[in-house]
Amino acid sequence: MDVVIFEVAGQRYALPAANISEVLDPVPVTPLPYAPTFVDGLVNVIGQVVVQMDAEQRLGVGGGLAALRGSILVVNDGYAQSAVHVERVLTKAIIADEDISRKDARVASDEDSDLIDSSEADHARFLSGSFQWKETSVLLLDVFAFSLDDIVPVGEPDGRGGMLGSAIGSIVRSDGQESRADKGFSCVIVQCNGEHYGIALHEVGEVVDEFKLTVLPHAPSDVSGMTLLRGEPVLSLSLGALLGGTEHALLRKMVVVERNQVRFGLLVEEVLGIEYFAEGSVQDVEPGAEVEGYLIGTNKGMIGLLGINGLISDARFKRYSDYLTKNNVTQSVAAVEKAQGKKVRMLAFFLGREQCAIPLSLVERVEEYREQIDLPGGREAGICGAVQIQGEVVPVVDLRGEFGGEQDDKDATYLVVRMEGGVWALTVNRVERVIEISESDIEQIKADKRDYIGAVGRLNGRLISIISLTPLMSADSDPIMKAA
What local confidence, expressed as pLDDT, does residue 249 receive?
Answer: 64
Q: Helices 314-326 and 329-340, interaxial angle, to 10°?
A: 80
CATH of domain 2-150: 2.40.50.180
**How far is it, in rounded angstroms, from Cα 265 to Cα 213?**
11
What are the backbone angles phi and psi of residue 478, rounded to the nearest 5°?
A: -55, -40
**How far is it, in rounded angstroms, from Cα 111 to Cα 131?**
26
Supply the pTM of this predicted model: 0.46
Cβ count within 10 A of residue 241: 18
**How far is it, in rounded angstroms, from Cα 28 to Cα 35?**
17
Supply the DSSP symbol for 19. Answer: G
Determine what percent of the chain falls in helix, strand and coil, rounding each to the nearest 5: 20, 45, 35
Bigger pLDDT: 86 or 326? 86
**How far is it, in rounded angstroms, from Cα 201 to Cα 422?**
53
**How far is it, in rounded angstroms, from Cα 141 to Cα 124?**
9
Domains 2-150 and 177-339 share a fold: yes
What local confidence, expressed as pLDDT, does residue 410 receive?
Answer: 65
- CATH architecture of the domain 343-483 equals Beta Barrel (2.40)
- With b for 16 or more beta-carbon neighbours within 10 A and e for fewer, the 219-232 pattern comes to beebbbbbbbbeee
CB of 292 closer than 8 Å to CB of 284: yes
> Of 239-253, 336-350, 382-396, which range is least confident?
336-350
Q: Please, what sign has the CA dihedral across residues 71, 75, 81, 87?
A: negative
Tens of pLDDT, residue by residue over 13-24, are: 999 998 998 888
> Of 142-146, 175-179, 305-309, 431-435, which range is least confident?
175-179
CATH of domain 177-339: 2.40.50.180
**How far is it, in rounded angstroms, from Cα 307 to Cα 243?**
11
What local confidence, expressed as pLDDT, does residue 132 receive?
Answer: 92
**How far is it, in rounded angstroms, from Cα 323 to Cα 273?**
34
Band of the pLDDT at 155, cuts 50, 70, 90?
low
Closest CA to 256 of 271, 266, 247, 245: 266
CA dihedral 171, 173, 174, 179 (to 10 degrees): -110
| Residue ranges covered by each domain of the chain | 2-150, 177-339, 343-483
Average pLDDT of span 192-198: 88
User: Which of 34-38, 44-48, 133-137 reaches the highest mean pLDDT?
Assistant: 133-137
As a whole number, the mean pLDDT across the chain is 78
Bigger pLDDT: 332 or 53? 53
Average pLDDT of span 187-200: 89
Average pLDDT of span 369-388: 76
Burial of 60 (0-12, 13-18, 19+ CB in 10 A): middle
Answer whether residue 176 shows pLDDT above 50: no
Q: Please, what sign has the CA dihedral across residues 398, 399, 403, 408?
A: negative
> Could you tell me where the DSSP H helices lie in 312-451?
314-326, 329-340, 378-381, 399-402
Amino acid at position 9, single letter: A
